[in-house]
Amino acid sequence: MSGVQAYRRRAAETERMVDAAVAAVKAERAAEFERSKREHAAKEAARRIYTRDDIVGAGFVHDGRSWRKVVRVNKETVSVETGYSWVDRIPFAKVRGIQRPLEGNDRRTPMSVIYQDEYSIVHQGDALAVLAELETASVDGLVTDPPYSSGGMVRSDRMAKTSTKYVQSDSANQSLSDFSGDNRDQRAYAYWMALWLAEASRVVKPGGVALLFTDWRQLPSTTDALQAGGFVWRGIVPWVKPSARPMSGRFTNQAEYVVWGSNGSMGLDFESPTFPGFYQANAPREREHITQKPIDVMRELVKIVPEGGVVLDPFLGSGTTAVASLIEGRRVIGVERVQEFAEISTRRIREAQFKDQREEGGVLDFGTIVGGAA
């Protein structure tokens, strides 16, 4: 072999060795990069904001100081919400009352939706228009307090402002805003009730319940409208107000009424809880809506809807039905026409879901909730 050939062979071998060394360094660097990327991804996954697609179920857990919202991310662990991130993974077994997200949250959001989370949706708009957009058999129960169009013996009385009809002259609630839809005469009220109740009966699942507040003047029309809308009328539940103002020589009008029924047959379940035939509570002294109902009464009423089920309130007002439903482990779809009250409802829903809840029985524990004023 000539000197030139030997030189070329040694040069080729050296080049192969250099290429092998470079390839080894590249492979090591690539492996290190992949390890670093996996570690970074794991850290980011622990503190990133989870989307609805990540949420399998949700509930609340007590961390020794306060209730904190949690989201289940797999069978073994959950993540606790802090601000807008999901951090601090904890054992799944420590979470009480896991609840699945509200159905339909992954669909395109309608224009009328002004607030939406895993447990609640608030629409701003006319009840009949929004009801027409909801899916058939998509809610478990209807619990609502529609405008009574009442407050007097003659048409001129009913046409007065709601603050005139429903707020006593010496009340501290004189400054509350009026609400719309409360000036129909009795026939128009009955026809209107039957119209939206017919749409609601399509939205409520077969066997689901309907609960409607009314007063003694509109009680006959309300029971007729419930049946005209397609529900089976099942009874009347009085709400008795002990502090009602007595009238000399007359019986005291100290009750409003919950007309209730079902969307067809309810069936019999002897393991279901029983409910009383009336409720007693004073109207709230501090309120944000003229006809705001007591939270204690509403918490008891929504319990007739299965736990984890969806409560529909087409006349949300200041959101008491929604707050009661969330506290008692139900989900809620609400509709409110007036922007001011829609915003009040949204605020109260957020407060009910995220503020510390340290009342008797541990409200916001979707597993074991017992009474206690909200």
Q: What DSSP string describes 248-279?
A: TTS----EEEEEEEESS-----TTSPP--S-E
- What gap in Å lies between CA 238 and CA 124, rounded to an integer? 30
- Residues 141/305, Cβ–Cβ less than 8 Å: yes
Burial class (CB in 10 A: 0-12, 13-18, 19+), 350: middle
- For residue 43, the model assigns a pLDDT of 66
- For residue 175, the model assigns a pLDDT of 52
- For residue 291, the model assigns a pLDDT of 77
Token pair belonging to 5: 């050939």
- What gap in Å lies between CA 13 and CA 110, rounded to an integer? 71
What are φ and ψ of residue 217, in 5° steps? -70, -40
The DSSP 8-state label assigned to residue 161 in this structure reads: -
Burial class (CB in 10 A: 0-12, 13-18, 19+), 337: buried
- What gap in Å lies between CA 320 and CA 313, rounded to an integer? 10
The pTM for the full model equals 0.62
- For residue 3, the model assigns a pLDDT of 73
- Residues 105/86, Cβ–Cβ less than 8 Å: no
User: Mean pLDDT, consecutive 10-residue segments, the chain of 374 residues?
Assistant: 75 85 85 81 57 48 50 50 42 44 43 84 91 92 90 54 50 51 76 93 96 94 95 96 89 94 90 92 83 91 95 94 94 92 91 57 34 32
- For residue 182, the model assigns a pLDDT of 58
- Type of residue at 160: A
Burial class (CB in 10 A: 0-12, 13-18, 19+), 7: exposed
